[in-house]
Amino acid sequence: MGVEVPRFMAKAPVPLAFGTSGLRGLVTDMTDLEVGINVAGFLRFLRRAGMIEAGCPVAVARDLRHVDPKSGLVSSPRIAAAAASAIEREGYRVINAGTIPTPALAYFATGRRTPTDDRWPGPMPAVMVTGSHIPADRNGVKFYRPDGEVLKGDEPGILAAVAEVRRALYSATASSSAYDSEGALTSPSPLPPVVPEAARMYVERYTRLWHRSDRPLSGLKVVVYEHSAVGRDLLVEVLESAGVDVVREERSETFVAVDTEDVSPDEEAHYARLVARHGAHALVSTDGDGDRPLVVDETGRFHRGDVLGAVVAEWLGADYAAIPVSTNDAVELHFARTGGLKLASTQIGSPYVIQAMNEARTQGFTKVVAWEANGGFLTGADFNVGDGFLTALPTRDAMLPILGALFSAQAADDRRMSSVFGRFPDRRTRAGLIDDFPRARALAILARLRPAGGEERIAPEVERCFSAIPSLGTVDRMNSVDGVRIYFSGGDVIHFRASGNAPQFRVYVVSATQERADEIVKLCVRHPDGVVYRLGDLSLACD
């Protein structure tokens, strides 16, 4: 049995759960010790798997979460330094990629660039310090193998290595430990100077798709909602290189949590006002770490990532796409009508769509892509785009879908982005989120909803929990690939899912009108009598 409390600490730390998205937790729980344990465990796993050698470089980058507003603790800069310290103690060399988007770090570290681009050796593992879209009092660490994202099959080996490191570090004495009684490094070291090539290579991945003199997006005026997105300056640079008239708005030095899966009506109205104020063709942005896009058309309408991904797939000329089960059914309906693209539905999360892309290549598909409902777009193959060559980047990226939407709008007869999205069936969506929702309760709700014995129906007592939503009709079919997705005879779809790495419960709704989708989400997440809470009370009563 392992040591539960380090010998040099008065209280036990809070171990962070390690998953395919890395670590997520409160900043107060992400001590230097806890970060160091997990980084060291990840590197030991890679070494034992033969993926790295002693002394190899390891790239580190971070987002712009400077301070936890609740505790006052330094957030991403401190966590990045703790990760770097662990890397050096394990005998590897730290490469500081600076403050750049997660896909930029992945592109730099995995060596996914043109054969003639040898300015920096690759591949190498990477550590990205980011909480992505979650609130500012939390943060996270995402890990990359030298060949790409951590996959589900890696988890057992990583967890075993993390447990081994934890036992060793917990056994240290106060005099021998590198950490103090609060879990902070006793002698923190600054990171080495930033390597600018990481940001530069990411920018050039896109700008080499056109000749600068051509300015292919000339004539488009686009608002860039900057907030605290780590890639805001890189996004502006790429767009201006393509000839876009960029209007910068609302830059913030304080972290702003932007969740592209949970854009509220008030937020959408705000984006629409910015578009109208400037007479812009579009508004674009990303989440905090630049792997999820936000795209608003000239009418002020926000377009969710699932339909945005379909636009980009068509722009690239893809022949295969892996999409999560939560995707708007407008995508399936559209490609059933137009043909030319094989769709595969997976569990929610990049490891699952990456696995599907890998399998597609073995089946003979050559233009393989994937995307998620949050808009993050993955390329599992190289593409010829415009005058350039786009190398594969099988991790979520926000820059490519933004460009795909703008290039598609530029090519439309009326140069209106709304016309591009207007080609899809008009199925409106809304996502709702309940934060600080106990995971045990979330899982109990899903267990109550999940059909037994393969029957696609819900129990009468469960059905009564939906009584506040008018005109749902009866259950047509159900899907429990990831969470529970219910298709009702009235045409509405409601998908319930527990977050895999945060105490959150999500509800995805697809309906014929935006008002209907908004209303169903509100009736599902409303406290204390919404559908989710009624299901939760029922589940507790049945335990």
CATH at 290: 3.40.120.10
What's the rounded Cα separation, in Å, for the pair 82 and 189?
9
User: Of 421, 445, 472, at which residue does a domain stop?
Assistant: 421
User: Of 376, 406, 421, at which residue does a domain stop?
Assistant: 421
- Grouping H, G, I as helix, E, B as strand and the rest as coil, residue 202 is helix
What's the rounded Cα separation, in Å, for the pair 260 and 283?
13
- Both 90 and 44 in a single domain? yes
Residue 450 has what pLDDT?
Answer: 86
Q: Is residue 330 part of a domain?
A: yes
Positions of E strands within 125-242: 126-129, 138-145, 148-149, 221-227
Pairing of strands 282-286, 221-227: parallel
What's the rounded Cα separation, in Å, for the pair 316 and 403?
11
Residue 113 has what pLDDT?
Answer: 58
Higher pLDDT residue, 503 or 501?
503
User: Of 169, 199, 229, at which residue does a domain stop?
Assistant: 199
- Both 389 and 434 in a single domain? no
Q: What is the pLDDT of residues 433-492, one digit of tens each?
A: 999 999 999 999 999 998 766 667 788 889 899 999 999 999 998 988 899 999 999 999
Which tokens sit at 275?
A: 């578009």
CATH of the domain at 471: 3.30.310.50
Residue 212 has what pLDDT?
Answer: 72
> How much is the pTM?
0.90
Q: Is residue 484 part of a domain?
A: yes
Q: For helices 329-338 and 305-316, what crossing angle results, to 10°?
A: 30
Lowest mean pLDDT among 404-418, 449-463, 483-497, 512-526: 449-463
- Both 257 and 194 in a single domain? no
Residue 288 has what pLDDT?
Answer: 97
Q: Is residue 5 part of a domain?
A: no
- Both 154 and 57 in a single domain? yes
Residue 379 has what pLDDT?
Answer: 98
Residue 542 has what pLDDT?
Answer: 56
Residue 1 has what pLDDT?
Answer: 41
Average pLDDT, the chain: 93
Given 21, 85, 132, 539, the catalytic residue: 132
Q: What are the φ and ψ backbone dihedral angles of 139, each rounded to 5 degrees? A: -155, -175
Q: Is residue 180 part of a domain?
A: yes
- Both 288 and 387 in a single domain? yes
Q: What is the pLDDT of residues 315-346, one digit of tens each?
A: 999 999 999 998 999 999 999 999 989 999 99
Report whether pLDDT(229) > 70: yes
- Both 262 and 382 in a single domain? yes
Q: Is residue 245 part of a domain?
A: yes
What's the rounded Cα separation, in Å, for the pair 39 and 90?
9
- Both 130 and 238 in a single domain? no
Report whether pLDDT(112) > 90: no
CB 146 within 8 Å of CB 51:
yes
pLDDT tier at 2, thresholds 50, 70, 90: very low
Report whether pLDDT(413) > 90: yes
Question: What's the whole-number mean pLDDT along residues 377-383?
Answer: 97
Domain that holds residue 52: 18-199
Report whether pLDDT(72) > 80: yes
Which tokens sit at 293?
A: 């896009």
Question: What's the whole-number mean pLDDT along residues 424-429?
Answer: 92
Residue whose token pair is 């820059």: 399
- Both 388 and 439 in a single domain? no
Peptide bond into 123 cis (omega under 30): yes
Q: Is residue 3 part of a domain?
A: no
What's the rounded Cα separation, in Å, for the pair 275 and 285?
13
Report whether pLDDT(31) > 50: yes
- Both 368 and 492 in a single domain? no
- Both 411 and 500 in a single domain? no
CB 77 within 8 Å of CB 87:
no
Whole-angstrom CA distances from 254 to 61, 68, 257, 274, 328 are 19, 10, 10, 20, 33
**Among 341, 42, 307, CA closest to 164:** 42
Q: What is the DSSP letter of 370?
A: E
Give ∠ CA 123-86-65 in degrees, rounded to 5.
Answer: 85
355 CA to centre of own chain:
16
Is 132 in the active site? yes
- Both 523 and 399 in a single domain? no
Which tokens sit at 148?
A: 């790409």
What's the rounded Cα separation, in Å, for the pair 253 and 247?
18
pLDDT tier at 381, thresholds 50, 70, 90: very high
Whole-angstrom CA distances from 327 to 8, 263, 323, 439 are 49, 16, 7, 23
Q: Tally the domains of the chain.
A: 3
- Both 300 and 186 in a single domain? no
- Grouping H, G, I as helix, E, B as strand and the rest as coil, residue 207 is helix
Report whether pLDDT(404) > 70: yes
Q: What is the DSSP letter of 67?
A: B
- Grouping H, G, I as helix, E, B as strand and the rest as coil, residue 262 is coil
Report percent pLDDT > 90 for the chain: 83
Q: Is residue 2 part of a domain?
A: no
Q: What is the DSSP letter of 467?
A: T
